[in-house]
Amino acid sequence: MGKVNKVVSLQNLSPELVELLHKKYPDGYQNHVIKVTTPKNDFFYGVTLDTPEVSYLVKVPVKIDTNPDEIDEKDFVEEPDDVITPDETFDDAEEAEDPDSIPDED
**For 59-106, how does the pLDDT look when each residue is reduced to its tens digit (9 = 90+)?**
999 876 666 566 555 555 555 555 555 665 555 555 555 555 555 665
User: If we measure between CA atoms, which residue out of 6, 26, 23 comes closest to residue 15?
Assistant: 23
Does 37 map to a domain?
yes
Question: Do 17 and 68 form a contact (C-beta atoms < 8 A)?
Answer: no
Residue-level pLDDT at 63: 79
**Residues 87 and 65: beta-carbon distance below 8 Å:** no
Shared-domain flag, residues 17 and 45: yes
Q: Considering the domain boundaries, does residue 81 fall inside one?
A: yes
Cβ 55 vs Cβ 4: under 8 Å: yes
Q: For the chain, how big is the Rg over CA atoms in Å?
A: 25
Domain count, the chain: 2
pTM above 0.95, yes or no: no
* Domain span at 11: 4-59
Q: CA 99, 101, 106: angle at the middle one, nearest 5?
A: 85
Do 52 and 86 lie in one domain? The reply is: no
Q: 68 lies in a domain?
A: no
Do 52 and 13 lie in one domain? The reply is yes
Q: Are residues 11 and 44 in the same domain?
A: yes
Q: Examine residue 85 and state whether it is found in any structural domain, yes or no.
A: yes
